A and B are shown apart, each in its own frame.
Chain A
Amino acid sequence: MTLSDLAERTDAELLALHTSGDPDAFGEIFRRHKDKMWAVAIRTTRDPEMASDAVQDAFLNAFRRADSFRGTAQVSTWLHRIVVNACLDRLRRVRPTVDLADHDPVEPRDHHHSVEVQMDVRAALDRLPQAQRLALILVDMQGLSVAEAAAVLEVAEGTVKSRCARGRAALAGMLSSP
């Protein structure tokens, strides 16, 4: 199959080709998604080395377990899930207490207060509980829909909405505090 043939295929078709033995199909999937998966890995781990290992694990897992893709979500969502899980696995190895329990360590502030950015946004993001940070990374930074983020995180859409709302509020509070 030529490059143009592969380029015209959807992600799902490429994955099906891969599972049926096509030696080139997964290469096209990798080419299409590697930058986006790198972005989510680096944003999730905040560590280039850890992100590198995680995204490698993720693509190898995807290669090996392509037949587990059921087609109920987009391939990109499926890949996001694999990458996020690989990142969380890596993070747990270095910080075994890390979990996705949602809590609010930051005192809530006025949601309607206009944001005056007084600290680095990334540093503020790092201070969020991981569950809220992941939701914001996926929805606000990676551009996934709430439904897609819910599929990635394997939680209800309402949970993603709530985490996003509370994460944004917490960020606003941190960024506007003196």
Chain B
Amino acid sequence: MSTPDDREPAAEDLDPTGVRAMLSSLPDPGPMPPDLADRITTRLRQEQSLRAGQADELLGATPLASRRARGSAHQWLAAAAAVAVVAVGGAVVFQSALGDQAWDTVAAFYPSTDDAAADDAAAGDAEAGDGDAGAEAMTEMDDGGEERGSSEVLGVVEVLPTTTALGRDTFAVGAHSAVVSPQEESSEGSDTASTALDPQAARSCVAATGGDASAGAWLVGSATLDDEPAVLVVDRSTDPLRAWAVAPGCADGDDTAEVLHGPLELP
């Protein structure tokens, strides 16, 4: 990268032409645009959410798929208790993160939500006023221990709740949108919830790409590729993120399903 000339001695402090002074006096570009700060904060929250999920897994919280496979009442109660702990703990984590003004630089651009768990957590927090600003990122839990909300967190495999329409020509952009703003994809309400993949099937789809669902961080969701059924798989542990479209057979547990498109790096 460097050339012999690079190593010539130079007196950096000398400024006979006045160029250094001129450059240092150029106006600053100004603060980061609010919409960009908003966007980055959203991504950082998603990362934080993912990290919290991974921490839960490392601490021994049993993956949902495994909980579903077990039938005894004792195990069901243990799982329900774990889910409750995760729900409350998650609410506290997010309340803490969002109630802190460390995030307020950009949190001001976030609409508050009515998330009940966040509200519950906020009730016990003296700084509850701004505490629910990012609760949309939190996975909600119902009484039955099932997860719902914008996405279903399953260890490191997150399942999109809705179908993402993709095209080969615009695949990367479409996949990126699904990653960045999964909630926008779910604007059709309850109708879209039925398109969510079974979490275990999601792992088969990861395997179909050659990936390891037990490692890394994945986002999987029903999709269409040029109007044909497909499954979107995004590896979130790489930079840039990589995405595939996999044949829908993986949703039936076929971990050898054909990769229809990709991998493509996301913008």
Interface residues of A (CB under 8 A from B): 1-3, 6, 21, 23-28, 30-31, 34-35, 37-39, 42-43, 48, 52-53, 55-57, 59-61, 63-64, 99-103, 111-115, 117, 121-122, 125, 131, 136, 139-141, 143, 146, 155-156, 158-166, 168-169, 171-172, 175
The reply to whether B10 and A102 contact each other, CB–CB distance below 8 Å, is no
- Indicate whether A115 sits within 8 Å of B29 (C-beta atoms), given known contacts A53-B267, A55-B40, A61-B239: no
A60-B47, A64-B47, A140-B23 known; A31 and B18 CB under 8 Å? no
Query: Shortest beta-carbon distance, B132 to chain A, in Å?
Result: 15
Write 15 A-B pairs (CB below 8 A) sorted by A numbering: A30-B41, A30-B44, A34-B105, A38-B31, A39-B29, A52-B33, A60-B40, A64-B47, A101-B1, A141-B23, A158-B9, A165-B12, A171-B19, A172-B17, A172-B18
Q: A52-B33, A113-B17, A172-B17 are in contact. Are A60 and B1 (CB under 8 A)?
A: no
Q: A60-B47, A159-B2 are in contact. List 9 more A-B contacts (CB 8 A).
A: A1-B100, A23-B94, A30-B105, A34-B32, A38-B31, A113-B17, A115-B17, A172-B18, A172-B19
Q: Please name the 8 residue pairs, one residue from A and one from B, whose CB atoms are nearest each other, closest first.
A: A172-B17, A27-B102, A165-B10, A38-B32, A140-B23, A161-B10, A28-B102, A168-B19
Closest beta carbon of chain B to A14's beta carbon, Å: 9
Residue ID in chain A nearest B240 by CB atoms: A57
Binding site for A on B (CB under 8 A): 1-3, 5-12, 14-20, 22-24, 26, 28-33, 36-37, 39-41, 43-44, 47-48, 51-52, 55, 93-94, 96-97, 100-103, 105-106, 239-240, 267
A2 near B100 (CB under 8 angstroms)?
yes
Contact across chains for A162 and B267 when beta carbons are under 8 A apart: no
Determine the residue in chain B with the shortest Cβ distance to A158.
B7
State A46–B240 Cα separation when bound (angstroms): 21
Tell me whether B43 and A60 are in contact (CB under 8 A). Answer: yes
Q: A21-B55, A161-B12 are in contact. Are A143 and B22 (CB under 8 A)?
A: no
Contact of B5 among A21, A102, A175 (CB under 8 A): A102
Q: How far is the CA of A63 from the CA of B46 in the complex (A)?
A: 11
Other-chain residue from B22, B47, B240 in contact with A117 (beta carbon distance below 8 A): B22
Contact at A162–B5, with CB atoms within 8 Å? Answer: yes
Chain A hits for B14, CB < 8 A = 165
Total residue contacts A-B, CB cutoff 8 A: 173
Chain B nearest CB from A58 CB (Å) reads 9
Closest chain B residue to A149 by CB distance?
Answer: B12
Q: Which of B10, B18, B36 contacts A38 (CB 8 A)?
A: B36
Q: Report whether A24 and B102 are in contact in the complex, using a CB–CB cutoff of 8 Å.
A: yes
Residues of B within 8 A of A26 (CB): 44, 48
Instruction: Closest A residue to B95 by CB, please name it.
Output: A23
B32-A63 in contact (CB<8A): no
A164 touches B102 (CB 8 A): no
Report the minimum CB–CB distance from A158 to chain B (whole Å): 5
When the two chains form the complex, which single residue of B5, B7, B20, B28 contacts A156, counting CB atoms closer than 8 Å? Answer: B7
User: Which partner residue on chain B sits nearest A43 by CB separation?
Assistant: B29
Report yes or no: B19 in contact with A175, Cβ–Cβ below 8 A: yes
Residues of A within 8 A of B55 (CB): 21
The answer to whether B22 and A115 touch across the interface, beta carbons within 8 angstroms, is yes
Asked if B17 and A56 sit within 8 Å, CB to CB, the answer is no
Interface centre among A53, A99, A111, A165 (most CB of B within 10 A): A165
**Cross-chain contact of B20 among A28, A60, A159, A168 (Cβ < 8 A):** A168
Closest residue to A53 on the B side, CB-wise?
A: B267
User: In the complex, what distance in Å separates the CA atom of A121 from the CA atom of B25?
Assistant: 11
